[in-house]
Structure formats: structure tokens, C-alpha cells
């Protein structure tokens, strides 16, 4: 299997990219749910605001961080050519950036920062994320067994 992943990386066979959707979606779902929980905790004053406020009324929302993380993941994807593990880590970074950016999807559409804009598109994002997660779980777990350094049944050989 390890040789199969390496071959797919080197020859750009299509099966690799289905498997890479899995870490993207895992990171997306965890980040999205985490940012929702943090948003609720901030809304109900359980924790203080975590955003960067440049001046009163001018704040940098977390979707901005997500977009910059997507920029970084795109660049790293360009320079990570023949490393299966590198592609896996870039996929996780990409999913993290997507989760931060898509968490504010309602605000993108409504162009205002209120609770209705923020919370109304959660269901859409979660359903799409879970649907894609289900589609990619089998090839993703197979890849995870080979690439994750701390997997309990993994042989101690290098992929890179």
C-alpha cells in the first residue's frame, strides 16, 4: 500500500486525490465545529473576544486568517511535489483554513456581522462536510494508516 501511495504521488494517479479529501474534511469539520463552539462561548461572555481589533469597530475576523492559511496551503502544495506525507500535512492545513473561512460564510453572503448571518448557514456547511467525509473515509483511513507517524500498527519505515 505504501508503494501504491508513492506511485500515485509520483504519477498523479486519481486515487490519491480522493484519499487526500479525507484529511481536508477532518480538519475542516473539527475547525468549523471548534470555531462554532468558541463563537457561542464568546457570544454568551464565557470567554473574552479572541479577534484582533485594530481600532474600535475595526476587527479582523477569523475568516481572514483562514484565507491566509489557504494561501499558505496553496503555496506549500505547489512546492510539495513527491512527498506523500507532505501532501497529507498540506491537506490538513488546507482543511483548517477552509474551516476558518467557511465558518463565516453567512457573513460573506449578507455582508453584515450579526447573529442571524453567522448562525444561519451552519447546517449547510456541516451537512456538506459530513457528506464528503462519508465519501472519503475508507480511502482516507487507509492512507492515514500508512502516513501517520504514531499509528499503532504502522511499520517503522520511511515514506519520504
What's the pLDDT band for 160 if we cut at 50, 70, 90? Answer: very low
| Bridge partners for 58 per DSSP | 55
Q: Is a pLDDT exceeding 60 seen at residue 137?
A: yes
Q: Which three cell numbers stand for residue 5?
A: 501511495
Dihedral sign, Cα of residue 53, residue 58, residue 63, residue 67: negative
Looking at residue 2, what is its pLDDT? 45
On the question of pLDDT at 51 being above 50, the answer is yes
Over residues 22-42, the mean pLDDT reads 86
What is the Cα–Cα distance from 102 to 160, expressed in whole angstroms? 32
pLDDT category of residue 86 using cuts at 50, 70 and 90: confident
Least confident of 14-18, 98-102, 121-125: 121-125
What pairing do the DSSP bridges indicate for beta strands 52-55 and 58-60? antiparallel
Q: Is the pLDDT of residue 116 over 70?
A: no
Q: State percent of the chain over pLDDT 70.
A: 74
Amino acid at each position: 500500500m505504501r508503494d501504491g501511495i508513492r506511485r500515485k504521488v509520483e504519477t498523479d494517479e486519481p486515487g490519491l486525490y480522493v484519499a487526500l479529501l479525507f484529511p481536508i474534511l477532518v480538519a475542516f469539520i473539527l475547525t468549523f465545529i471548534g470555531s462554532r463552539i468558541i463563537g457561542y462561548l464568546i457570544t454568551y461572555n464565557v470567554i473574552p473576544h479572541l479577534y484582533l481589533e485594530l481600532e474600535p469597530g475595526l476587527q479582523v475576523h477569523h475568516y481572514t486568517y483562514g484565507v491566509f492559511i489557504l494561501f499558505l496551503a496553496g503555496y506549500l502544495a505547489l512546492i510539495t511535489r513527491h512527498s506523500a506525507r507532505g501532501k497529507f500535512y498540506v491537506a490538513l492545513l488546507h482543511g483548517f483554513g477552509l474551516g476558518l473561512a467557511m465558518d463565516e460564510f453567512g457573513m460573506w453572503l449578507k455582508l453584515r456581522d450579526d447573529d442571524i448571518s453567522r448562525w444561519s448557514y451552519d447546517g449547510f456547511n456541516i451537512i456538506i462536510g459530513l457528506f464528503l467525509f462519508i465519501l472519503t473515509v475508507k480511502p482516507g483511513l487507509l492512507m492515514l494508516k500508512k502516513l501517520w507517524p504514531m499509528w499503532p500498527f504502522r511499520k517503522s519505515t520511511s515514506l519520504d
